[in-house]
């Protein structure tokens, strides 16, 4: 018990130090992006506490401007916009996280297998990667989402199917050079199997790079989800920001009314903030993790 | 050099085959069949067709034959340019696509040209002013603009410039019900309508091209031949454009081609922001009324266009880069040195 506690304390301390180290290496833009991201994640976590109106049923007159109990006004059905924004953050974060985990894991397994096994497996996987990269992803995603129905889990699966190729390629390149390292060769020589090497040597070494790449993946997934929702292919039961924009834009004559000043503006603002800060943080972390990449 | 390109052709064929197979398989993987769909619209199960009628139609459309046979028929129809018949609009899909395609092509090609030009100009501006405040500002702007998805930029421009200031039309590709005095006036009208969508797409795409030009120029500037060019007393302009930019051009072409998919995807969204009557808007309409043949036809055309652009870039790249030819020759005699910065697609991690 005592020992476990001590171990936990040690781990926490290590994480804390690492976080501090990371923070000190980030550029001011990266720091700002990280702060905004953390705020948005907290918003999503504490959504029920932050919103005092329900996000799915009417809670006042339709299309009221911001103020007067409705922080960001209401939409055409009288649903509170702030509540929708707060709960919509959850959708974006679930989609981003889910896709990044699925695609990052699948991509790195494919990349490591491709590099380590070589031969026909390498050829098949790399051909697949090449094809995935040239395919125009949005049209394919539109077709798939239209056929399979736009539920949140379907969207995550489709997005993951289209984003594993980048991590796979990155991880493959890294594994290829790692494979030639003397200590890895030695371990293999002493009889270390593929999975031993994978967990003992490859993954720990590749993890930082993978995590950085996963931030990118999350950003792209969030953009893709918002794009699909904007085209009316979002999960209709989840109020994602893209879907709010879709409803607002399809409200006829919205540009001739003042309604866009809250109904369109706020979801746009939050989506842009989230996407931009994710991208800027990803860029900065890439620089920190691999100084070679940012010449 | 030629064999290298030829080696990539099976890959493109495979990609096209995958797309076609996907297109063929998707509607057949759906639960139910088209006649169920038609008779039970909106969730209510009506029996508009009797069992005999259903069988008759299944045989009429060939849906009772084995999948392999259906696939061959499908390929045959595709090769004749027959993309099927739209349920909703009651028109041949190919005709509908041909009517909309020019608008999308206009947007995509104009945006590609503008983003290439802007990327080159700003990239070389930044490479020559590395570290100064103006360069850092440009860098930040480009990175931010490059990361915001096109449709969000488009919404912003639409609200600000079209709805707010009234400088541009809110929707459409040309003014209807108007007589133009001349072709020039009509052309000006079309350009006026296309301005915002093209600007949006170019803004979204310039960022990454800018970074590429800036970085490759950055490495080129440290090369020996740049010093030689300076020592020869060549003018700054000549050094910049003939010696440096020419070498930065090659990765730019690959990148532009690889971005074609993203560009087309962006165009689909941006057309919907600006209600621009291209393929993207048609795709939206097809999704909205669940017109699957139309949706698939558009998808096929977009995918094949992107693949063709990629193949073209591959061919062009090998044409433009004399070092690749030289390297192939060298490799046949001994180990060649891989030219830095021209690794093409494999370099872009």
What ranges do the domains of chain B cover? 100-287
Question: pLDDT tens digits for A46-82?
Answer: 988 888 888 888 887 877 778 777 888 888 787 888 8
Chain A residues lying within 8 Å of B12, measured CB to CB: 134
How much is the mean pLDDT over chain B? 79
Q: A295 falls in which pLDDT band (50, 70, 90)?
A: very low
How far apart CA A43 and CA A38 sit, in angstroms, is 9
- Contact across the interface for B11 and A130, Cβ inside 8 Å: yes
- Smallest CA–CA distance, residue A148 to chain B, in Å, is 8
CATH 1.10.3720.10 fits B100-287, yes or no: yes
> Residues A284, A287, A290, A294: what is their CA dihedral angle, to the nearest 10 degrees?
140
Predicted local distance difference test score (pLDDT) of residue A16: 86
Average pLDDT over residues B299-304: 89
CA nearest to B308 within chain A = A134
Nearest CB neighbour to B264, from listed A131, A136, A219: A136
**Higher-pLDDT residue of A73, A218:** A218
CA nearest A79: which of A252, A226, A266?
A266
Question: Which of B163, B287, B310 faces A232 most closely, judged by CB atoms?
Answer: B287
Alpha carbons within 13 A on the beta-carbon side of B47: 5
B121 touches chain A (CB under 8 A): no
Question: Smallest Cβ distance to A135: which of B15, B159, B269?
Answer: B15
Residue A53 DSSP class: S
Percentage of residues of chain B with pLDDT beyond 90: 13
Q: Which of B159, B219, B299 sits opposite A295 (nearest CB)?
A: B219
pLDDT score at B330: 52
C-beta atoms of B162 and A255 within 8 A: yes
pLDDT at A99 (0 to 100): 94
User: Above 60 in pLDDT, residue B41?
Assistant: no
Q: Which residues of B touch A272 (CB under 8 A)?
A: 148, 152
Nearest residue on chain B to A267, judged by CA atoms?
A: B152
pLDDT surpasses 60 at B338: no
Residues in chain A: 295
DSSP helix/strand/coil, A192: coil
* CB-defined contacts A:B, below 8 A: 133
B73-85 average pLDDT score: 84
Please tell me which of the candidates B158, B265, B345 has its beta carbon nearest to residue A136: B265
The answer to whether the Cβ–Cβ distance between A280 and B147 falls below 8 Å is yes
SS3 of A127-141? HHHHHHHHCCHHHHH
Give the residue from chain B lying closest to A148, CA to CA.
B30
φ, ψ (nearest 5 deg) of residue A68: 60, 55
Worst-scoring range by mean pLDDT, A153-162, A216-225, B167-176? B167-176
A139, A244, A284, best to mutate vs chain B, most B CBs in 10 Å: A139
Which pLDDT belongs to residue B196? 92
The confidence score (pLDDT) of residue B282 equals 92
pLDDT tens figures, B135-146: 888 888 888 888
Whether residue B162 lies within 8 A of chain A, CB to CB, comes out as yes
Distance of CA B278 to the CA centre of its chain: 13
Nearest to A255 among B147, B156, B170 (CB): B170
pLDDT computed for residue A34 by the predictor: 92
Write the residue in B261, B287, B290 that is nearest to A136 by C-beta.
Answer: B261
Report pLDDT digits (tens) over B220-256: 888 888 888 888 888 888 888 888 888 888 888 888 8
Return the pLDDT at B252. Answer: 87
Q: How many helices (H) and strands (E) does chain B have?
A: 15, 0
* Predicted-complex ipTM score: 0.83
Question: How far apart are alpha carbons B209 and B130 in whole angstroms?
Answer: 17
Backbone phi, then psi, for A75, in 5-degree steps?
-95, -165
For residue A1, pLDDT over 80 is answered with no
Helix %, strand %, coil % of chain A (to 5): 75, 0, 20
Q: Do A295 and B273 touch (CB under 8 A)?
A: no
Chain B residues 270-329 with a CB less than 8 Å from chain A: 272-273, 283-284, 287-288, 290, 292, 295-296, 298-299, 302-303, 306-307, 310
Res B336 pLDDT > 60: no
Does A147 sit within 8 Å of B292, measured CB to CB?
A: yes
Nearest CA in chain A to B155: A268
Region of A68 (left: φ > 0; alpha: ψ -120 to 50; beta: rest) is: left
Q: Taking residues A140-157, what's their average pLDDT?
A: 84
Is B226 part of the contact surface with chain A (CB cutoff 8 Å)?
no
The torsion angles phi and psi of B45, rounded to 5 degrees, stand at -90, 100
For the cut 80, the answer to whether the pLDDT of residue A175 exceeds it is: yes
Provide mean pLDDT across the span B17-40: 70
Per the listing, tokens 């967990």 go with A199
Quote the tokens at residue B153. Answer: 């930029």
Residues ≥6 apart with Cβ < 8 Å to B126: B135, B138, B139, B210, B214
Instruction: Give pTM, 2 decimals.
Output: 0.83
Give the DSSP H/E element, type plus range, for residue B344: none
CA separation for the pair A126, B331 (Å, rounded): 23
Q: Could you confirm whether domain A29-51+72-294 is CATH 1.10.1060.10? A: no
How far CA B179 is from CA of B174, B182, B185, B189, in Å, comes to: 11, 9, 10, 11
What is the Cα B275 distance to its own chain's centre?
Answer: 18
Please give, rounded to a whole number of angstroms, the shortest distance from the CA of B325 to a CA of chain A.
23
DSSP B222: T
- Taking Cα atoms as reference points, which of A72, A51, A74 lies closest to residue A64? A74
Beta bridge partners of A80: A74
């Amino acid at each position: 018990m005592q020992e476990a506690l001590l171990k936990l304390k040690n781990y926490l301390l290590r994480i804390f130090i690492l976080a501090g180290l990371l923070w000190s290496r980030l550029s001011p833009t990266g720091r700002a992006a990280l702060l905004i991201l953390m705020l948005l994640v907290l918003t999503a976590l504490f959504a029920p506490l932050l919103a005092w109106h329900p996000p799915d049923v009417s809670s006042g007159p339709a299309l009221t401007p911001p103020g007067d109990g409705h922080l960001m006004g209401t939409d055409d059905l009288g649903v509170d916009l702030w509540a929708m924004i707060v709960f919509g953050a959850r959708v974006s974060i679930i989609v981003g996280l889910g896709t990044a985990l699925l695609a990052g894991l699948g991509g790195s397994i494919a990349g490591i297998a491709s590099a380590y096994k070589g031969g026909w497996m390498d050829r098949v996987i790399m051909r697949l990667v090449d094809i995935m990269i040239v395919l125009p992803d949005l049209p394919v995603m539109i077709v798939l989402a239209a056929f399979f129905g736009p539920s949140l889990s379907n969207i995550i699966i489709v997005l993951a199917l289209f984003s594993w190729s980048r991590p796979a390629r990155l991880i493959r390149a890294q594994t290829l050079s790692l494979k030639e390292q003397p200590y890895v060769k030695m371990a293999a020589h002493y009889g270390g199997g593929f999975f031993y090497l994978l967990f003992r040597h490859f993954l720990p070494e590749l993890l930082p790079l993978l995590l950085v790449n996963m931030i990118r993946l999350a950003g792209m997934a969030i953009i893709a989800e918002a794009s699909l929702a904007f085209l009316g292919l979002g999960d209709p039961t989840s109020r994602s920001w893209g879907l709010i924009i879709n409803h607002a834009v399809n409200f006829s004559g919205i540009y001739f009314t003042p309604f866009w000043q809250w109904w369109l503006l706020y979801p746009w603002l939050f989506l842009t903030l989230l996407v931009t800060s994710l991208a800027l943080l990803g860029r900065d972390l890439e620089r920190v993790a691999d100084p070679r990449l940012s010449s | 050099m030629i064999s290298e390109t030829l080696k990539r052709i099976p890959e493109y064929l495979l990609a096209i085959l995958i797309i076609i197979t996907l297109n063929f398989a998707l509607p057949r993987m759906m639960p139910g069949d088209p006649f169920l769909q038609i008779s039970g619209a909106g969730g209510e199960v009506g029996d508009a067709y009797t069992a005999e009628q259903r069988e008759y139609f299944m045989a009429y459309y060939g849906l009772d034959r084995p999948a392999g046979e259906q696939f061959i028929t499908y390929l045959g129809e595709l090769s004749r340019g027959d993309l099927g018949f739209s349920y909703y609009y009651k028109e041949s899909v190919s005709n509908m696509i041909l009517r909309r395609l020019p608008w999308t092509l206009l947007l995509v090609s104009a945006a590609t040209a503008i983003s290439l030009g802007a990327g080159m100009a700003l990239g070389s501006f930044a490479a020559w002013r590395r570290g100064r405040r103006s360069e850092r500002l440009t860098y930040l702007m480009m990175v931010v603009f490059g990361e915001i998805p096109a449709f969000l930029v488009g919404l912003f421009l639409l609200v600000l410039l079209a709805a707010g200031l009234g400088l541009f039309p809110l929707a459409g590709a040309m003014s209807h019900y108007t007589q133009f005095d001349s072709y020039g006036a009509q052309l000006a009208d079309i350009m006026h309508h296309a301005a915002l969508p093209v600007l949006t797409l170019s803004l979204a795409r310039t960022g990454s091209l800018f970074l590429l030009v800036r970085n490759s120029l950055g490495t080129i500037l440290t090369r020996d031949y740049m010093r030689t060019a300076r020592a020869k007393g060549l003018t700054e302009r000549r050094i910049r454009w003939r010696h440096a930019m020419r070498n930065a051009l090659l990765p730019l072409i690959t990148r532009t081609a690889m971005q074609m998919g993203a560009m087309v995807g962006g165009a689909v969204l941006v057309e919907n922001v600006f209600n621009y009557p291209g393929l993207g808007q048609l795709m939206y309409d097809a999704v909205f009324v669940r017109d699957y043949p139309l949706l698939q036809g558009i998808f096929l055309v977009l995918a094949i266009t992107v693949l063709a652009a990629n193949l073209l870039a591959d061919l062009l790249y090998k044409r433009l880069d004399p070092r690749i030819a030289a390297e192939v020759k060298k490799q046949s005699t001994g180990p060649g040195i891989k030219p830095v910065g021209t690794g093409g697609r494999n370099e872009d991690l």
